Amino acid sequence: MTRFETRLLSCAALLMAQTCLPASAAPAPWPSRPEEAISAYAKAVADNDPGLLGKAFQPSAMMYCTAGDKVTATSQSQWKERMRTASSQKGPVSTTPEWIESGKQTAIARVSAVRGGKSYVDYLLLARLGQAWRIVGKVCQEGADSDTASTRGIEDTIARKVDGDTRWADSALTETIAPRALVMSVDAGELVASTLEEWRARYAERREKSPHNPVRVLSRHVDTRGNIGSAVWRFRSGSGGVWEDRALFLKTPAGWRMMALIFTQQE
């Protein structure tokens, strides 16, 4: 057998060996609908998979959970590290959407979550970033039930926020938005996030240029469980444009506050 024939046989054997190797699992696709982002979140928790959690959540997303007067904030990096170092959840684990309300660019969902022997309610804020839907905020509470007082609390918070918008009153932002909350928008498929202090500075600048901004609320929907909730409201601004705000709320020791807020222009 010539050296050339030996080389051909070696190459053929290598190709056959590579063909017979088990194929590696294809990476999970990016969620193309809000439902898929929530499914990725559910599977990430069930499998204790930090990589899949990164598919479901935007890196800047924070999770705020309340228990009595205590509010715990968890970043994505903290959550992923906990997945890497902790053992898998014992007992039943499930994450079931109860409803999803979505528009073209943003969505809100209420989710029933079981973690071992405990049952939680999650509210999720989602945004379409490029071609992928990602969760950009979460609030949760164990054993949360419906409460009309909570609904009134959120409605009052929205009313104070809208009144502040009318006067460009930056003090109203402090009274309605949590200090660590992100105020977000979607611009050409990209998430734009600002801090509360940045928005207060913007309101102060706008007040100097145009002190009056007549805002008319066109629609509003509030959903609450226990000391957490969500809302979506649509309004016409003083310039004539129609905007839609979606927010996650949590009752803090200082009162009801938005923990994540995202706005998009509709018209």
What local confidence, expressed as pLDDT, does residue 19 receive? 38
Longest dimension (CA), the chain: 92
- Write out the DSSP string of 26-67: PPPPPPSSHHHHHHHHHHHHHHT-HHHHHHHB-TT-EEEEEE
Question: For the sheet containing 132-142, what is the strand order?
Answer: 70-75, 62-67, 132-142, 118-129, 106-115, 93-102
What local confidence, expressed as pLDDT, does residue 151 receive? 96
What local confidence, expressed as pLDDT, does residue 253 receive? 92
Q: What is the pLDDT along the chain (267 residues), one digit of tens a residue?
A: 444 343 433 434 433 333 333 444 567 789 999 999 999 999 999 999 999 999 999 999 999 999 988 999 999 999 999 999 987 778 899 999 999 999 999 999 999 999 988 999 999 999 999 999 999 999 999 999 988 999 999 999 999 999 999 999 999 999 999 999 999 999 999 999 999 999 999 999 999 998 889 999 999 999 999 999 999 999 999 889 999 999 999 999 999 999 999 999 998
What local confidence, expressed as pLDDT, does residue 91 receive? 86
pTM: 0.88
For residues 140 and 228, the answer to whether their CB atoms sit within 8 Å is: yes
What local confidence, expressed as pLDDT, does residue 220 receive? 97
Beta strands in the chain (DSSP E): 62-67, 70-75, 93-102, 106-115, 118-129, 132-142, 177-187, 190-195, 216-225, 228-236, 242-252, 255-265
User: Which residues have a Cβ under 8 Å from the Cβ of 214 and sit 6 or more positions away?
Assistant: 166, 238
For residues 95 and 71, the answer to whether their CB atoms sit within 8 Å is: no
Distance CA 260, CA 98 (A): 20
For residues 110 and 122, the answer to whether their CB atoms sit within 8 Å is: yes
